[in-house]
């Protein structure tokens, strides 16, 4: 199962807020720099790469000096408008250090439920990738309300992977992979290296929320894995604290948890 990922031609990498920011909410520039260099290098090796990034709300909160996420929808939308701008400006600068042009795509759920908009989105992704541009995707949080929300970027990354017909989806988070028990509560918890099928038993191993700054937890990651593997996409969930892990995952090393893509 691991060796198949070495042949992946189109890869989506999702990075969560907990990977991109410090506990205090400020951006972890070292990691962002590494992500820009590594993804450029992977792209240079001949693969198509898409980055799905979180962080708009976290970065916006930090920039506006907010300790807690606001409760009101419009206030969160405002925070994300500030944060997305900062986030993208930093990615743009960091990727351009390595001569990579990035293009921002902000998505809402209606982009995929409306066939015409979906087609347009697919065309934009393919035009960017054909032109050797690295798409950087986030949810369009500043206009998202419940009806048109994905709600978390794990799900969004799986939808993007499906949309562009990717071969692999790598979800980087602050946890090493899927454990058989909650590793925060149970010292003997063991990582599950490979999942052939996402059964009810596997789902029961996923425990709720992740960090305070991000949105998803293992449950949203499993939902993402289910969406993507149903389309034949291999999914790896791994710890993003050292982004070099991306190389090792693509070399087929036993890292994190790999979910086998189902073949039609």
Using an 8 Å Cβ cutoff, are 27 and 90 in contact? Answer: yes
Q: Is 139 in the site for ligand GLU (CB under 6 A)?
A: yes
Residue count of the chain: 264
According to CB under 6 A, which one of 10, 13, 15, 16 is a site residue for ligand GLU? 16
Is residue 138 within the footprint of ligand GLU (CB under 6 A)? yes
Stretch that binds ligand GLU, among 51-59, 175-183, 222-230, 237-245 (CB under 6 A): 51-59
**CB–CB of 49/13 below 8 Å?**
yes
Nearest-approach distance from CB 139 to ligand GLU, in angstroms: 4
**The binder of ligand GLU chosen from 25, 135, 177, 214 (CB under 6 A):** 214
- Residue 5 or 228: the one with the smaller Cβ distance to ligand GLU is 228
Among positions 141-180, residues that touch ligand GLU (CB under 6 A) are 141, 152-153
Pick from 25, 135, 177, 216: which binds ligand GLU (CB under 6 A)? 216
Q: Which one of 13, 36, 56, 236 is in contact with ligand GLU (CB under 6 A)?
A: 56
Who's near 128: CB < 8 A, 6+ residues apart? 103, 105, 134, 135
Q: Candidates 36-44, 137-145, 163-171, 236-244: pick the segment binding ligand GLU (CB under 6 A).
A: 137-145
Q: How many residues of this chain interact with ligand GLU, rule: CB under 6 A?
A: 16
Stretch that binds ligand GLU, among 91-99, 101-109, 208-216, 247-255 (CB under 6 A): 208-216
The tokens describing 23, both together, are 């506990």
Q: Is 211 an interacting residue with respect to ligand GLU (CB under 6 A)? A: no
DSSP bridge pairs for 13: 51, 170
Given CA atoms 250, 252, 256, 257 in this order, what sign does their dihedral have? positive
Q: Which residues contact 111 (CB under 8 A, 6 or more apart)?
A: 117, 118, 121
* Sole window of 55-63, 93-101, 128-136, 191-199 interacting with ligand GLU (rule: CB under 6 A): 55-63
Q: What gap in Å lies between CA 94 and CA 86, rounded to an integer?
A: 12
Torsions phi, psi of 108, nearest 5?
A: -125, 165
Interface positions with ligand GLU (CB under 6 A): 16-17, 54-58, 80, 138-139, 141, 152-153, 214-216
């Amino acid at each position: 199962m691991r060796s198949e990922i070495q042949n992946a031609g189109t890869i989506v990498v999702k990075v969560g807020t907990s990977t991109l920011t410090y506990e205090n909410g400020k951006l972890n520039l070292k990691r962002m720099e590494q992500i820009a260099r590594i993804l450029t290098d992977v792209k240079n090796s001949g693969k198509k790469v898409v980055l799905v990034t979180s962080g708009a709300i976290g970065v916006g909160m930090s920039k506006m000096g907010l300790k807690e996420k606001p409760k009101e929808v419009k206030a969160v939308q405002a925070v994300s408008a500030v944060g997305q701008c900062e986030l993208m400006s930093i990615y743009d600068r960091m990727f351009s250090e390595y001569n990579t042009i990035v293009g921002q795509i902000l998505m809402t759920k209606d982009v995929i439920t409306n066939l015409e908009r979906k087609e347009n989105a697919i065309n934009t992704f393919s035009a960017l990738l054909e032109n050797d541009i690295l798409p950087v995707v986030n949810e369009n949080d500043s206009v998202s309300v419940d009806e048109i929300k994905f709600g978390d970027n794990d799900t969004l990354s799986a939808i993007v992977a499906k949309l562009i017909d990717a071969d692999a989806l790598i979800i980087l988070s602050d946890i090493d992979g899927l454990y058989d028990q909650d590793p925060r509560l149970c010292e003997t918890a063991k990582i599950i290296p490979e999942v052939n099928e996402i059964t009810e038993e596997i789902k029961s191993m996923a425990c709720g929320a992740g960090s305070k700054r991000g949105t998803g937890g293992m449950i949203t990651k499993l939902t993402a894995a289910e969406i993507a593997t149903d389309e034949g996409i291999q999914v790896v969930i791994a710890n993003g604290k050292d982004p070099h892990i991306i190389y090792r995952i693509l070399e087929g090393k036993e890292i994190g948890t790999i979910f086998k893509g189902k073949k039609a």
